[in-house]
C-alpha cells in the first residue's frame, strides 16, 4: 500500500507545482497594475496632513481617513510592479555590455547604446519610484493617525471619573435604569394601543407562541439532552473515537440553549410590538448569552464532574464542582456587564449613572477571579511531584493564579476610586483572554485525541511532535483574537497582515511568506523525487549490476547529495530569489566559514573523497587509532563504526582520509590467523609440529592453498614457543577459528601426553622467624631488665643453613636461592 501511495503523492505534488509555477499561470494570475491618480492622492494626503496637525477630528473620522490612506497605499504597492519585465530586459542588456572601462574609453557605438539603455531604464523606473515615494508618504500619514488614536486611548484610560461608591451618585444610576425601563414600557404600550399593530400581533399570535414554546423548551431541556447523549456515548474508559463523539455532542449544551434564545428573540420581533429601544435591547442579548453559555461549557471541560482518563486540573470532586460554579458565574457576570454597557450607550446614560450601574458587576467578577485563583493554587500544590520539582506548566499556572488574584483586587479598587475605564480595561479583556486560553486548552485535548485515533499511540501522544506543532499553530492563530480583546483595532491588525504578506527587502530581494511557501513546496517536491530515485536505484537497478555493495552505497549517497542540491537551487530560483545576490552573500561569508567552520568544511570534503575514492565501504572491518569495528554508515561529516562490543564510534572523515587506516576486508575477506602455543621443555618438537599441522589442516575455515604452517618460534623463559599461521576463508571468523583450534589443541595434547607448562617462581625469605614472632620471643629473656639491650652482630642478618626451612624437593631448594 505504501508503494502505491508514494508515487500517487508525488504525482499530486508535481501536478500542483506545475499548475502553481507555470509561467502562463503566473502571468494570467497577475493583473496589469494601473497608474494611480496622483492628483487625487495629493488632495487626500493634504487633508490627512491637516487633520494630523490639528488633531481635532474625532476618532471615527480619523479611522475613516486612515482606511482611505490604506487603500491608496495598496495601489502604490501594486504600481511598483509597473514595467517590471521591461526593466529586467533593459537591465540584462546593460549587463551584457559590461561595465564602463576604467579609462572611460569605449567604442562610440557601445557608448551610444549604453546611453540609450540608461535613458530607457530611467524612463521605465520612474513610475515605480514615484509609487514608492507615495507609499512612503502614506506610511508616514498612517503612523501619524495611529499615534493620535493611541494617545487618545491612553488619556481615556487615565481619566478620573465619578466614584461609583459615593452615595451621592447612586440616585443617577437608579434614575437611568428606571428611565430606560419606563421608555421600553412606553414603547410597548404605544404599540399595543395602535390598532393596526395590535391586529397584526393577534394574527401572528400562534407563530409567536410556537416559537416562544420551542425556544423555552430548548433553553430548559437542551443542556440536559446534550449531557445525557454525551454520557451515553462515553464509557468508563472511552477510546479516542468515543471521546471525540462525546465531545462533539457536548457542544449541544451551548448550541441548543443559544438556539432557544434566538427563537425567543424572533418570537418577540414577530409580535410587531417592539419599539426602537426595545429592538436594540433584544438584539444586544445574543452576544452576552453566548458568552455565558460558552463560559459554562468551558467550566464543564476544565472542571469536569467525571473524566474517564485524565483531568486538566488536579482537584478534588468538591473543588471541581466549585470551579464549575465560579466559571459559569463569571461568564454570566461578564455577559451581563457587556449587555448593560451596550444599553448605557444607546440609552445615553451619563458617565455617573454608567459607573454606578456597572460597578457591582466588576466587584462580583473580582470575587469570582479570587475564587478561581484559589483553585488554581490548590492545583499547583497537588501537582508537585514527589521529589519537589515543579513542571513548566505548573509554573505557568501558578503565575496565572497570581495574576488573577491581583486582578481580582486591583480592578474593583480602581473602579471604586474613580478610574473606571482603567478598571474596565484591566478586567474584561483579561476575562476574554482567560476564555480564549480555556478554548485553546480544550482544543489541544481534541488534537491529542485525534492523534491517538489516527496513530493508535496513546502513551506518547501528549508529548509527540505533531500535537505540539498543531498546538503552537493554534496559539499563533489565536494571537489576533487576544489582540482584539485588549483593544487593538481591526484596521491595525489588517495593516500588520498586509505588511507581513508584502515582506521586506533584503539585498534587493523581497522576502515574504509567499516566497517561503514557494520555496518549501518546490524543495519538498525535489526532496521527495530524490528519495524516490534513491530508493529505485538501491532496491531495483543497482542490485542487478556487478557493482559491489560499497559502490552501490556511494552511488546512492551521491545521487542524494546532488538531488538535494538541485532541489534547493530550483526552489530558490522558483521563489524569485536572485542567485547572484546569494553568491555575493556567500562570498562575504566565505572568510568566516574558512576560519570558524574550517573543521566542518574539512570533514565535508573528506566525506566526498571517501564516497568517490572508496578506500572504505559500509560493512568493512577496519582499524583506526587502535579501534576495531565494522563501518556502518558514511555521511558527509563523519563515519559511524560499530565495534565488536556493539558500541558506536563516530569518527570525523578527516581522520579517515589523513590518518592511518587498516582495512581487513576491503577487496576480499581472506585473512591470516596467528595462534601461539607453548609446550614444556623436553617435549619432542617434531611431534608437536605434526600435531599442530594436523589440527590446522583439519579446520574447515583454513585454506588448503596456501596451506597452514607451524613455526617453532623460540625458546621461551618457561616453554618452547610455537605458532600456527593459517589463512582463513573469512577473517571475520578469526576469533571463532582461534577458539576451535585451541579446544582441539588441548584435547590432542592431553591424548598425546604433551605438557603445556605454566610459569613457576621460587620465593626465598631472609627472616622467616619474623613472620611467626619466634625470634622476638627467644630474644626477650636473654636480655636483663636493668641492662641495655645489645645489638646483634652484623653477620647474624645473613642466613645460614639453620635459617632456611627444611625441604625435600626441588621446589624448596631450587632457583637462585639454592646457590647462595
pLDDT digits (tens, 9 = 90+) for 528-570: 999 999 889 888 888 888 777 767 777 888 888 889 889 988 8
Mean per-residue pLDDT, 707-736: 89
Residue labelled with grid coordinates 534587493: 508
Highest mean pLDDT among 192-196, 398-402, 458-462: 398-402
For the chain, helix (H) and strand (E) counts, in that order, are 29, 10
More confident residue, 28 or 660: 660
- DSSP-assigned letter for residue 633: E
- Which are the contacts of 130, defined by CB distance < 8 A and separation ≥ 6? 38, 79
CA distances from 40 to 45, 69, 133, 438, 716 (A): 9, 12, 16, 49, 111
Instruction: Give, to the nearest 10 degrees, the angle between helix 276-283 and helix 317-346.
Output: 150
Residue among 728, 670, 676 at smallest CA distance from 699: 728
> Is residue 289 over pLDDT 90?
yes
Mean per-residue pLDDT, 433-452: 88
> Is residue 791 over pLDDT 50?
no
Q: Which parts of 597-672 fold into alpha helices (H)? A: 598-613, 653-658
pLDDT digits (tens, 9 = 90+) for 359-400: 999 999 999 999 999 998 888 888 776 555 667 778 888 898
Q: Mark residue 418 as left, alpha or beta (left: phi above 0; alpha: psi -120 to 50; beta: remaining).
A: left
Q: What is the pLDDT of residue 14?
A: 40
pLDDT digits (tens, 9 = 90+) for 2-38: 343 343 343 344 443 443 343 333 333 344 457 888 8
Cell triple for 638: 563523519
**529, 563 contact by CB (below 8 A):** yes
- Phi/psi at 667 (5° precision): -100, -25
pLDDT digits (tens, 9 = 90+) for 569-584: 888 888 776 666 565 5
| CB < 8 Å & 24+ apart, contacts of 804-809 | 805/768
Q: What is the pLDDT of residue 139?
A: 87
**Which H or E run contains 709?**
strand 709-715
More confident residue, 598 or 18: 598
Mean per-residue pLDDT, 251-279: 88
As a whole number of angstroms, the distance between CA 698 and CA 692 comes to 10
SS (H, E, C) 578-608: CHHHHHHHHHHHHHHHHHHCHHHHHHHHHHH
As a whole number of angstroms, the distance between CA 177 and CA 211 comes to 29
As a whole number of angstroms, the distance between CA 786 and CA 540 comes to 106
Which class is domain 680-752? Answer: alpha beta
Q: What is the pLDDT of residue 456?
A: 77
Q: 806 falls in which pLDDT band (50, 70, 90)? A: very low
Domain boundaries, the chain: 31-157, 167-204+271-496, 514-663, 680-752
> Is residue 652 over pLDDT 70?
yes
- Which are the contacts of 618, defined by CB distance < 8 A and separation ≥ 6? 549, 550, 553, 631, 632, 633, 634
> Is residue 778 over pLDDT 80?
no
Amino acid at each position: 500500500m505504501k508503494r502505491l501511495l508514494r508515487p500517487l503523492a508525488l504525482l499530486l505534488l508535481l501536478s500542483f507545482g506545475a499548475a502553481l509555477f507555470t509561467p502562463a499561470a503566473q502571468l494570467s494570475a497577475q493583473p496589469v497594475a494601473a497608474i494611480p491618480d496622483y492628483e487625487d492622492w495629493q488632495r487626500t494626503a493634504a487633508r490627512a496632513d491637516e487633520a494630523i496637525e490639528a488633531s481635532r477630528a474625532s476618532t471615527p473620522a480619523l479611522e475613516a481617513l486612515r482606511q482611505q490612506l490604506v487603500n491608496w497605499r495598496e495601489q502604490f504597492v501594486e504600481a511598483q510592479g509597473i514595467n517590471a519585465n521591461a526593466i529586467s530586459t533593459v537591465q540584462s542588456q546593460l549587463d551584457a555590455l559590461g561595465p564602463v572601462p576604467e579609462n572611460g574609453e569605449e567604442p562610440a557605438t557601445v557608448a551610444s547604446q549604453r546611453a540609450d539603455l540608461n535613458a530607457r531604464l530611467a524612463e521605465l523606473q520612474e513610475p515605480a519610484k514615484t509609487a514608492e515615494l507615495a507609499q512612503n508618504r502614506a506610511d508616514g500619514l498612517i503612523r501619524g493617525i495611529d499615534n493620535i488614536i493611541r494617545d487618545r486611548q491612553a488619556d481615556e484610560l487615565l481619566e478620573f471619573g465619578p466614584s461609583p461608591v459615593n452615595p451621592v451618585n447612586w440616585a443617577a444610576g437608579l434614575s437611568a435604569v428606571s428611565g430606560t425601563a419606563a421608555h421600553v414600557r412606553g414603547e410597548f404600550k404605544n404599540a399595543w394601543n395602535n390598532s393596526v399593530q395590535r391586529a397584526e400581533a393577534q394574527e401572528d399570535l400562534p407563530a409567536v407562541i410556537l416559537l416562544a414554546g420551542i425556544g423555552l423548551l430548548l433553553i430548559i431541556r437542551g443542556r440536559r439532552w446534550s449531557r445525557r447523549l454525551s454520557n451515553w456515548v462515553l464509557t468508563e474508559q472511552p477510546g479516542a473515537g468515543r471521546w471525540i463523539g462525546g465531545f462533539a455532542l457536548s457542544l449541544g449544551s451551548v448550541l441548543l440553549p443559544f438556539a432557544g434564545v434566538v427563537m425567543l428573540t424572533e418570537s418577540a420581533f414577530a409580535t410587531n410590538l417592539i419599539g426602537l429601544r426595545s429592538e436594540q435591547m433584544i438584539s444586544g442579548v445574543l452576544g452576552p448569552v453566548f458568552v455565558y453559555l460558552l463560559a459554562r461549557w468551558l467550566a464543564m471541560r476544565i472542571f469536569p464532574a467525571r473524566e474517564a482518563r485524565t483531568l486538566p486540573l488536579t482537584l478534588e470532586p468538591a473543588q471541581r464542582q466549585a470551579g464549575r460554579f465560579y466559571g459559569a458565574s463569571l461568564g454570566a457576570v461578564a455577559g451581563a456587564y457587556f449587555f448593560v454597557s451596550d444599553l448605557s450607550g444607546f440609552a445615553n446614560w451619563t458617565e455617573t449613572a454608567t459607573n454606578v450601574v456597572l460597578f457591582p458587576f466588576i466587584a462580583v467578577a473580582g470575587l469570582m477571579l479570587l475564587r478561581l485563583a484559589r483553585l488554581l493554587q490548590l492545583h499547583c500544590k497537588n501537582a508537585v511531584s514527589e521529589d519537589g520539582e515543579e513542571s513548566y506548566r505548573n509554573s505557568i499556572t501558578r503565575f496565572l493564579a497570581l495574576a488573577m488574584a491581583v486582578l481580582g483586587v486591583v480592578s474593583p479598587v480602581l473602579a471604586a476610586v474613580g478610574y473606571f475605564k482603567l478598571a474596565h480595561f484591566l478586567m474584561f479583556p483579561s476575562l476574554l483572554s482567560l476564555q480564549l486560553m480555556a478554548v485553546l486548552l480544550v482544543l489541544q485535548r481534541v488534537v491529542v485525541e485525534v492523534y491517538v485515533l489516527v496513530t493508535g499511540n496513546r502513551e506518547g501522544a501528549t508529548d509527540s511532535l505533531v500535537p505540539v506543532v498543531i498546538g503552537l499553530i493554534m496559539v499563533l492563530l489565536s494571537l489576533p483574537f487576544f489582540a482584539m480583546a485588549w483593544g487593538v483595532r481591526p484596521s491595525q491588525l489588517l495593516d500588520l497582515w498586509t505588511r507581513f504578506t508584502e515582506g521586506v527587502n533584503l539585498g534587493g530581494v523581497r522576502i515574504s511568506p509567499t516566497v517561503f511557501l514557494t520555496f518549501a513546496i518546490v524543495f519538498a517536491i525535489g526532496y521527495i523525487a530524490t528519495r524516490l530515485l534513491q530508493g529505485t536505484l538501491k532496491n531495483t537497478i543497482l542490485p542487478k549490476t556487478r557493482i559491489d555493495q560499497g559502490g552501490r552505497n556511494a552511488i546512492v549517497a551521491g545521487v542524494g547529495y546532488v538531488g538535494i542540491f538541485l532541489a534547493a537551487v530550483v526552489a530558490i530560483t522558483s521563489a524569485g530569489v536572485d542567485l547572484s545576490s546569494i553568491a555575493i552573500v556567500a562570498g562575504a561569508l566565505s572568510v568566516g566559514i574558512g576560519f570558524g567552520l574550517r573543521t566542518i568544511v574539512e570533514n565535508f570534503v573528506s566525506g566526498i573523497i571517501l564516497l568517490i575514492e572508496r578506500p572504505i565501504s559500509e560493512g568493512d572491518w577496519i582499524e583506526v587509532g587502535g579501534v576495531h569495528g565494522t563501518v556502518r554508515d558514511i555521511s558527509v561529516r563523519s563515519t559511524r563504526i560499530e565495534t565488536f562490543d556493539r558500541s558506536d564510534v563516530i569518527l570525523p572523515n578527516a581522520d579517515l582520509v589523513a590518518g592511518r587506516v587498516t582495512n581487513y576486508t576491503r577487496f576480499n575477506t581472506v585473512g591470516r590467523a596467528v595462534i601461539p602455543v607453548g609446550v614444556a621443555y623436553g617435549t619432542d618438537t617434531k611431534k608437536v609440529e605434526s600435531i599442530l599441522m594436523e589440527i590446522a589442516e583439519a579446520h574447515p575455515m583454513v585454506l588448503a592453498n596456501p596451506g597452514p604452517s607451524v613455526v617453532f618460534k623460540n625458546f621461551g623463559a618457561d616453554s618452547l614457543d610455537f605458532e600456527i599461521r593459517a589463512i582463513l576463508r573469512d577473517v571475520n571468523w578469526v576469533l571463532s577459528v582461534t577458539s576451535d583450534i585451541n579446544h582441539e589443541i588441548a584435547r590432542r595434547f592431553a591424548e598425546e601426553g604433551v605438557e603445556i607448562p605454566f610459569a613457576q617462581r621460587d620465593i626465598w625469605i631472609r627472616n622467616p622467624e619474623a613472620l611467626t614472632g619466634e625470634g622476638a620471643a627467644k630474644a626477650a629473656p636473654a636480655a636483663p631488665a636493668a641492662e641495655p639491650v645489645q645489638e646483634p652482630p652484623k653477620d647474624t642478618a645473613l642466613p645460614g643453613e639453620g635459617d632456611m626451612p627444611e625441604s625435600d624437593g626441588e621446589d624448596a631448594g631450587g632457583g637462585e636461592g639454592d646457590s647462595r
